[in-house]
Chain A
Amino acid sequence: MSPRERRRTGGYAVAGRAVPRATGGLRPPHSDGSPRRGPARAHRSAGAPVSDAPDARRRGATHPGAWWLWAISLGTAATRTTNPLLLGLLMAASGYVVATHRSPTPWARSYGAFVRLALAVVLVRVLFAVALGSPIPGSHILLTLPEVPLPHWAQGIRLGGRVTAEAVVFAGYDGLKLATLLICVGAANALAGPTRLLKSLPGALYETGVAVVVALTFAPHLVADVRRLRAARRLRGRPDRGVRGLLQVGLPVLEGALERSVALAAAMESRGYGRTAEVPVRVRRTTTALTLGGLLGVCAGTYGLLTAEGGAYGLPLLLAGAAAALAGLRLGGRRSPRTRYRPDPWGPRAWLVAGSGAAVAALLTLASVRDPQALHPGVVPLVAPGLPLGPAAAVLLALLPALVPREHP
């Protein structure tokens, strides 16, 4: 049975069974003997296997946090090297996993945008190196641009002049590193959108999280609005391109976006967003004390760690502060009566996905210490980068998640 089928039958099995009802101060309107159950049971009773435990978790789904960890680990690995072959391999591996496992949500479409952005980053980095010069000494002169003389206060800045192959290659490597990072973030977006990650936030942070995600979706809506209104300019007989066109639609776009946000806020309010549970004053005070104290501890601890003389108390203070803050968050969650629908389980798949990412990051970090030459191919003198076999094999570990069965066939 595929995971998907299991989920379905799980759902059917639950129908009409006696399941514990909502607890707490909530009064389910159609209480026992709810008429709502009637028709659903009637048409489902045929042949559905019956099990006792309701499937309240989303089996077969990989925890979104695992995908984010995997992607962030790959990004970390990318920062350890400038070898274009290894970076290319990292991009290819993440791209392959995205191709096999991308989610069908609109977030997945942003992968293309991230790839384009990454390309732009490489280009911009190289262009800057060409136009502004580079501190990298080099002897292979590709071309000489006319140099713009600058006043003496702008010393150290150069416009135009000699462009060496070494400078261009160095900039290219550097840009590629950044591009790989961006592509990894794009991969995380495509594999598990931020909204899915949101479900795993602690209750106390949930509402802030919703606000952040709604703000994130604001941008794509805005882009769609701008596009629609610029098209509408054409209908008025005005050119639909150019900066002026963009400026003129600015106000209507913002008005429209504001109206939509207000409508969404109204819908969320009437669906119970922001309901709070009554908590005893004592718990509330403890929460505040823990959170504030914890954050202070974290600040002091970090300061201690960074300054030379605070080495002794820095780490313990940081850890204690973090623990207190976490406890405060957990206690704060009591104020929110929210429950979670089918939370994503952290199962073997999540371990595999997150583990493969972590392994890549760890192995590349290790390699960058052991063999910095291979991971940072020389620019001066200019040599062709070689493919170090060990790190390359480590990067291929990032492909392991491709073996995980897909959630969205």
Chain B
Amino acid sequence: MIRFEDVSVTYEGAAEPTVRGVDFEVPEGELVLLAGPSGAGKSTVLGAVSGLVPHFTGGTLRGRVTVAGRDTRTHRPRHLADVVGTVGQDPLAHFVTDTVEDELAYGMESLGLAPAVMRRRVEETLDLLGLAPLRDRPIATLSGGQRQRVAIGSVLTPHPRVLVLDEPTSALDPAAAEEVLAVLQRLVHDLGTTVLMAEHRLERVVQYADRVVLLPAPGAAPVVGPPAEVMAVSPVHPPVVALGRLAGWSPLPLTVRDARRRAAPLRARLATRAPSASAPHHTAATAPTATGGTGITAAAVARAGVADALPVPVSGTAPLRQRQAVTRRSLFRRRPAPAPEPSRTHIAEVHGLCVRRDRVQALRHADLTVAPGETIALMGRNGAGKSTLLGSLVGLLAPASGHVTVGGVTPHRTAPKDLVRHVGLVPQDPRDLLYADTVAAECAAADRDAGAAPGTCRSLVSALLPEITDGTHPRDLSEGQSLALALAVVLTARPPLLLLDEPTRGLDYAAKARLVGVLRALAAEGHAIVLATHDVELAAELAHRVVLLAEGEVIADGPTAEIVVSSPSFAPQVTKILAPQRWLTVAEVREALA
């Protein structure tokens, strides 16, 4: 269906080809996953299928790409529109009309289908994607998952034989991602659509792929093969694969189910060393005690399995109470710093906070306390109020009622100049923070803004991004690099409380690992960190506490292990594989086995 014949693409002004030696074929009805680190050319390969590369982006394409027998050299994207449906990274940039129904019809109108056919296909697609209740809704009012489904639906209605998707689940919460993936599954299995998609979050998609095309590095020839084989050599891989590689399983498991079936011996090995039900005395002696909100009582776990040890959702002040419980052990031995000692001075306190945004009650009576050195993950659906809570903590939004104090000041009444010394936020799109033409100018401005000694920001940047040069334009940085630069800019003022909104969106595993290292070091220095994230693996690796939000209310607040273990959608893969033992990350397991 899609055939690449020795394709290489060189963009204008680039010395080296972005992709080289791409030569593979996707047969009809396959779901093929395009994996690889950022900058390896995934979007370029996808663009070549829809003809946008090189017709729209410019550059030179050598070799030949054919889709359903049409050569993209002679067919412009608009003339491929009836065989290829393309959904880009940002669904909002994809919409031409205002309402769901019109959007679904737009592609067919361009192709000139008969009105009766259009009408029927719109109804079918509404049902297929579960969009029927939303048919009259303006697109602006939809949630992230709904938008992604509308975007997919809008390219499905012309009945393309090939669907090309660029990071369809990256910006979605776990539940919405499953929604979208279920739809793709159905398209492939019921209708024989060919799907080619790129995705960073392999843990979500790799098990659905029939084959994986791995772009190991920029300009390197792709590796094509069955998922298990490619994952064995891939530099990017999900935790289930990392665990499989660690345990030496072959063939590698790709799903939690496969891994669980093989994991019995591993569980037995871990049971003796693990901080789990079987050996409370062993770990109690070795692990640090009194770990604030992060410990769980060994006795409770010893008595009951995971299911019985589900925590009762506790309010924001609960960690204080929990600290008085008897036995404590830390599951998070790999953390450089154990969670903070109980301290009376909270770095930030939120009480009964209500915030309205555009006539919507974004937060209702939210409570949160943050202690120095603590890392908290805010989780919940798209639109649950995570960003609003972060916004209130930096004074971007004034509370309708309730109060917020950060470091003893009320954020929205404090001058920005003073507030940056108390709290810093890295927004969802870190580029929002960057105005200057070069990295050096950005750093100099950051020093001035924060009143820090000249060179402070630049030395932070050098620590986070050793390879970056002074003259680089901030807009030319990759996602991970601009995040690091924004982080450095925020850290220049040395705020004791650091907030991050969706920091891992668009980051590959390597960039994510670097970010985890940086944030751990910051927490060890005593920074309190609050991150809003959909990434359960990140929360498992970093957070001492998880706060779950739903419809603007705090519905659970407690130690990471308790909250994520008890939730089917928020549990990381390692937890699911090794349950009822409470491991969260591969790194923990590796350390326990060493």
A42 CB to nearest B CB, Å: 10
Q: A235-B424, A270-B86 are in contact. Are A339 and B109 (CB under 8 A)?
A: yes
B204 CB to nearest A CB, Å: 24
B118-148 vs A, Cβ < 8 Å mask (1 yes, 0 no): 1110111001100000001110110000000
| Cβ-based interface call for B268 (8 A) | no
* Contact between A26 and B112, CB atoms less than 8 A apart: yes
Give B115's nearest chain A residue, CB to CB: A56
Collect the chain A residues with CB atoms within 8 Å of residue B83's CB. Answer: 29
* Contact between A272 and B159, CB atoms less than 8 A apart: no
What is the CA–CA distance of A235 and B428 in the complex, to the nearest angstrom?
13
Q: Tell which of A157-165, A244-252, A346-354, A378-386 binds the partner.
A: A244-252
Q: A234-B416, A238-B449 are in contact. Are A105 and B78 (CB under 8 A)?
A: no
In-complex Cβ contact of A234 among B116, B160, B395, B431 (8 A): B395
| Cβ-based interface call for A341 (8 A) | yes
* Contact between B114 and A337, CB atoms less than 8 A apart: no
* Contact between B82 and A195, CB atoms less than 8 A apart: no
| Cβ-based interface call for A307 (8 A) | no
| Cβ-based interface call for B467 (8 A) | no
Give B160's nearest chain A residue, CB to CB: A29
What is the CA–CA distance of A97 and B120 in the complex, to the nearest angstrom?
33
Most chain B beta-carbon contacts within 10 A, residue among A23, A40, A193: A40
Collect the chain B residues with CB atoms within 8 Å of residue A196's CB. Answer: 98
In-complex Cβ contact of B93 among A11, A39, A239, A267 (8 A): A267
A31 CB to nearest B CB, Å: 9
Collect the chain B residues with CB atoms within 8 Å of residue A107's CB. Answer: 98
* Contact between A269 and B450, CB atoms less than 8 A apart: no
What is the CA–CA distance of A41 and B118 in the complex, to the nearest angstrom?
16
* Contact between B140 and A339, CB atoms less than 8 A apart: no
Interface positions, chain B 460-509, Cβ under 8 Å from A, are 475, 489-490, 493
| Cβ-based interface call for A6 (8 A) | no
Give B106's nearest chain A residue, CB to CB: A271
* Contact between B122 and A341, CB atoms less than 8 A apart: yes
* Contact between B154 and A271, CB atoms less than 8 A apart: yes
* Contact between B116 and A14, CB atoms less than 8 A apart: yes
| Cβ-based interface call for A15 (8 A) | yes
| Cβ-based interface call for B79 (8 A) | yes
In-complex Cβ contact of A277 among B93, B107, B112 (8 A): B112
Total number of A residues with any Cβ neighbor in B under 8 Å: 79
Most chain A beta-carbon contacts within 10 A, residue among B52, B123, B127, B158: B123
| Cβ-based interface call for A43 (8 A) | yes
Q: A270-B84, A277-B112, A338-B109 are in contact. Are A237 and B493 (CB under 8 A)?
A: yes
| Cβ-based interface call for B333 (8 A) | no
Instruction: Please tell me the size bucket of the interface on B.
Output: 35 or more
Give B118's nearest chain A residue, CB to CB: A341
* Contact between B51 and A104, CB atoms less than 8 A apart: no
Collect the chain B residues with CB atoms within 8 Å of residue A340's CB. Answer: 109, 115
| Cβ-based interface call for A30 (8 A) | yes
Give A196's nearest chain B residue, CB to CB: B98
| Cβ-based interface call for A119 (8 A) | no
What is the CA–CA distance of A330 and B96 in the complex, to the nearest angstrom?
25
* Contact between B450 and A267, CB atoms less than 8 A apart: no
* Contact between A29 and B82, CB atoms less than 8 A apart: yes
| Cβ-based interface call for B81 (8 A) | yes
Give A11's nearest chain B residue, CB to CB: B123
| Cβ-based interface call for A151 (8 A) | no
Give B412's nearest chain A residue, CB to CB: A234
| Cβ-based interface call for B309 (8 A) | no
Collect the chain B residues with CB atoms within 8 Å of residue A248's CB. Answer: 435
Interface positions, chain B 426-440, Cβ under 8 Å from A, are 427, 431-435
Collect the chain A residues with CB atoms within 8 Å of residue B110's CB. Answer: 271-275, 338
Q: Tell which of A125-133, A183-191, A258-266 binds the partner.
A: A258-266
* Contact between B78 and A235, CB atoms less than 8 A apart: no
B255-280 vs A, Cβ < 8 Å mask (1 yes, 0 no): 00000000000000000000000000
Interface positions, chain A 5-62, Cβ under 8 Å from B, are 11-12, 14-15, 17, 19-24, 26-30, 34-40, 43-44, 54-56
| Cβ-based interface call for B591 (8 A) | no
* Contact between B52 and A252, CB atoms less than 8 A apart: no
Give B86's nearest chain A residue, CB to CB: A270
Q: Tell which of A66-74, A224-232, A387-395 binds the partner.
A: A224-232
Most chain B beta-carbon contacts within 10 A, residue among A15, A39, A272: A272
What is the CA–CA distance of A14 and B106 in the complex, to the nearest angstrom?
19
In-complex Cβ contact of A105 among B55, B98, B427, B435 (8 A): B98
What is the CA–CA distance of A28 and B155 in the complex, to the nearest angstrom?
14
What is the CA–CA distance of A40 and B124 in the complex, to the nearest angstrom?
6
Give B418's nearest chain A residue, CB to CB: A237
What is the CA–CA distance of A9 and B190 in the complex, to the nearest angstrom?
26
A23 CB to nearest B CB, Å: 6
* Contact between B119 and A54, CB atoms less than 8 A apart: yes
| Cβ-based interface call for A309 (8 A) | no
Collect the chain A residues with CB atoms within 8 Å of residue B108's CB. Answer: 339, 341
B392-423 vs A, Cβ < 8 Å mask (1 yes, 0 no): 00111000000000000000000111011000
Collect the chain A residues with CB atoms within 8 Å of residue B149's CB. Answer: none
Collect the chain B residues with CB atoms within 8 Å of residue A270's CB. Answer: 50-52, 77-78, 80-81, 84, 86
* Contact between A104 and B138, CB atoms less than 8 A apart: yes
* Contact between B435 and A249, CB atoms less than 8 A apart: yes
Collect the chain B residues with CB atoms within 8 Å of residue A319's CB. Answer: none
Collect the chain A residues with CB atoms within 8 Å of residue B161's CB. Answer: 29
Give A34's nearest chain B residue, CB to CB: B159
In-complex Cβ contact of A27 among B82, B88, B138 (8 A): B82
* Contact between A342 and B115, CB atoms less than 8 A apart: yes
A199-228 vs B, Cβ < 8 Å mask (1 yes, 0 no): 100000000001000100000000000001
* Contact between A268 and B96, CB atoms less than 8 A apart: yes
| Cβ-based interface call for A3 (8 A) | no
| Cβ-based interface call for B361 (8 A) | no
Interface positions, chain A 315-366, Cβ under 8 Å from B, are 337-343
Collect the chain A residues with CB atoms within 8 Å of residue B425's CB. Answer: 235
A77 CB to nearest B CB, Å: 29
* Contact between A193 and B98, CB atoms less than 8 A apart: yes
B138 CB to nearest A CB, Å: 5
A194 CB to nearest B CB, Å: 10
What is the CA–CA distance of A11 and B125 in the complex, to the nearest angstrom?
12
| Cβ-based interface call for A408 (8 A) | yes
| Cβ-based interface call for A106 (8 A) | yes
* Contact between A267 and B94, CB atoms less than 8 A apart: yes
* Contact between B86 and A22, CB atoms less than 8 A apart: no
Give A240's nearest chain B residue, CB to CB: B416
Collect the chain B residues with CB atoms within 8 Å of residue A229's CB. Answer: 432
Q: A231-B396, A270-B51, A342-B105 are in contact. Are A20 and B116 (CB under 8 A)?
A: yes
* Contact between B446 and A236, CB atoms less than 8 A apart: yes
Collect the chain A residues with CB atoms within 8 Å of residue B490's CB. Answer: 235
Collect the chain A residues with CB atoms within 8 Å of residue B99's CB. Answer: 105
Collect the chain A residues with CB atoms within 8 Å of residue B97's CB. Answer: 195
Give B486's nearest chain A residue, CB to CB: A235
Interface positions, chain B 15-48, Cβ under 8 Å from A, are none
Give B164's nearest chain A residue, CB to CB: A270
* Contact between B416 and A19, CB atoms less than 8 A apart: no
* Contact between A22 and B114, CB atoms less than 8 A apart: yes
A219 CB to nearest B CB, Å: 15
Collect the chain B residues with CB atoms within 8 Å of residue A214's CB. Answer: 96
B445-463 vs A, Cβ < 8 Å mask (1 yes, 0 no): 1100110000000000000
Pairs A–B under 8 Å by Cβ, sample size 19: A19-B116, A20-B116, A36-B128, A40-B123, A107-B98, A235-B425, A235-B427, A248-B435, A255-B475, A263-B90, A263-B93, A266-B77, A267-B86, A270-B84, A271-B81, A271-B110, A272-B82, A338-B109, A341-B118
Known contacts A34-B159, A44-B127; 16 additional CB pairs below 8 A are: A11-B122, A22-B117, A54-B115, A237-B419, A263-B88, A265-B56, A266-B77, A267-B88, A269-B76, A270-B78, A272-B82, A273-B110, A277-B112, A338-B110, A339-B115, A339-B118
Chain A residues with CB under 8 Å of chain B are: 11-12, 14-15, 17, 19-24, 26-30, 34-40, 43-44, 54-56, 104-107, 193, 195-196, 199, 210, 214, 228-229, 231-240, 248-249, 251-252, 255-256, 260, 263-275, 277, 337-343, 408
